[in-house]
Amino acid sequence: MDQVVVDAGRKEQRRRLLSARFTVYFVLVMCLFAQADYLEVLRLMKTGEPVLRPWTGVNKSSLTRARQRLGWEVMRELFRAVSRPMGDTSELFHGLRVLAMDGMLLAVPDSAGNLEAFGKSGSQRNPMGYPQARVVAVTECSTHAVLDAVIGGFKDSERIVSDTLEAHVGPGTLVLADRGLWGLARWHRFRDRGAHLLWRIERRKARRVEDVLPDGSYIARIEANKHSKAAGKVKAPPVRVRVIEYRVDGQPDVVRLITSLLDHERYPAAELAALYARRWEIELVFDEIKTHQRGRPVLRSQTPDGVRQEIYAHLIVHHATRDLLNEAARLHQSVAERTSFTRALHVVRRTVIAPGGFSPLRPEA
C-alpha cells in the first residue's frame, strides 16, 4: 500500500493528520462498517489503535477533502496489487484455472455529478430510481476471489466495459461468460492473450457446421456480421469454435455453448456442459459484495471519483476476506467457496477494532 501511494504521487511533503496512508485505511474501514458515519468510523479506528493522535478539529468535511486528495486511482492500483488467484492445483480443470466474467449494478447517491457520470434507468425525460454504476469483473470460480474489475455507467454495455479487463486472463485460464458478453473481436482479444473460452451464445450464431464430433458436439465457423453497425470498419477475422448443445432437466430452452477447446477426447462435451454451471459462482460473489458486505442499498459517495474509490475499496475488502477464508479452508481441508462469507466478515470486523489488530500508522512508527 505504501508503494502504491508513492507511485501515485500522493505521498505528502509535510506531515498531515489525515495522511494519504491513513485515508486509505479510513476508506477500507468505511466499507467494512457501511452503516457507520464518518466520525463513527474514526472512533472504530481509534479502538483498534489506541496510540493514534487525537483528531481535534476533524469533521466530515475534512475527511471528505482527504478522500478527494487521495483520488480513486490509488484504490484501483491497490486492488490490482493485492488481487491474485488463490486456488491450488487440485481445483484446476484439466490444468486450466476456471474464471467467470459478468457484471453487476450498484446504486449510487442521486447527485448531479453521479447522474451525469453514470446515468439511471428510464428515459431522459422520465428517469427512474438512483443512478447506477456498472461493474464488470473477472472472478476465480473455486475461491470467489475477484481478480480484475472495471467501472462504467448504467448506459454502458457490459460488452464495452469488459474490453479493458485483462489482468490474470492469459495462458492456463478458461474464461466462462454468458451470451450478453459475446463479441467476435472480444473473443480474438482473449484468445490472443492465451486464454481459453467457454461462452454461452445465441442460437443464430455458429451455424456454419464444418464437422460433427463423436461426443455430439460439432465444429462451426463464426464470421463477422456484414449488416452490423460496425459496417465500414475493419471486421474481426472468422473463428473456428466447438459448439455444445444440451437441455437442463425441466427446461424447454436449449443451452448453446461455444468453446476454443476443440479436442473432444481431452475435453468431453458432458464435462464442459457441467463445468459451465460454475459460471453462476460469480453471481454469489456479487451477492457477497452487494448484500452482505455493502450493508446498505446505496453507496455513500456523492461524486463520481468518490464512487469509483468506494467500489474499489469494497473489492479490496472482499478480496482480503476471501483470502482469510481460503487460508482457513486449507487449514481445515474444506472448500473455500462453501464456507460462510458472512461469518468471515464478522471475524474481520471484530479483528479490525480489537486493540493491536489494526494499524493505520506509518511503518516506522
Residues 145-184: tens digit of each pLDDT: 999 999 999 988 888 778 888 788 899 999 999 988 888 8
Please provide the distance, in angstroms rounded to a whole number, between the alpha carbons at the two ends of the chain. Answer: 16
State the amino acid at position 338 in one-letter form: R
Check residue 286 and give its pLDDT.
Answer: 96
Please state, in angstroms and as integers, the Cα–Cα distance from residue 86 to each residue in 5, 59, 161, following that order.
25, 39, 25
Question: How far is Cα 6 from Cα 211, in angstroms, rounded to an integer?
Answer: 56
Check residue 356 and give its pLDDT.
Answer: 62
Residues across the chain:
365
Check residue 88 and give its pLDDT.
Answer: 86
Check residue 19 and give its pLDDT.
Answer: 87
Question: How far is Cα 167 from Cα 165, in angstroms, rounded to an integer?
Answer: 6
Residues 229-250: tens digit of each pLDDT: 544 466 788 899 999 999 888 7
- Counting as low any pLDDT under 50, the low residues of the chain are 230-232, 364-365
Residues 6+ apart with CB under 8 A from 96: 172, 173, 174, 196
Check residue 363 and give its pLDDT.
Answer: 53
Check residue 283 and give its pLDDT.
Answer: 95
Check residue 364 and give its pLDDT.
Answer: 45
Number of Cβ atoms within 10 Å of the Cβ of 326: 23
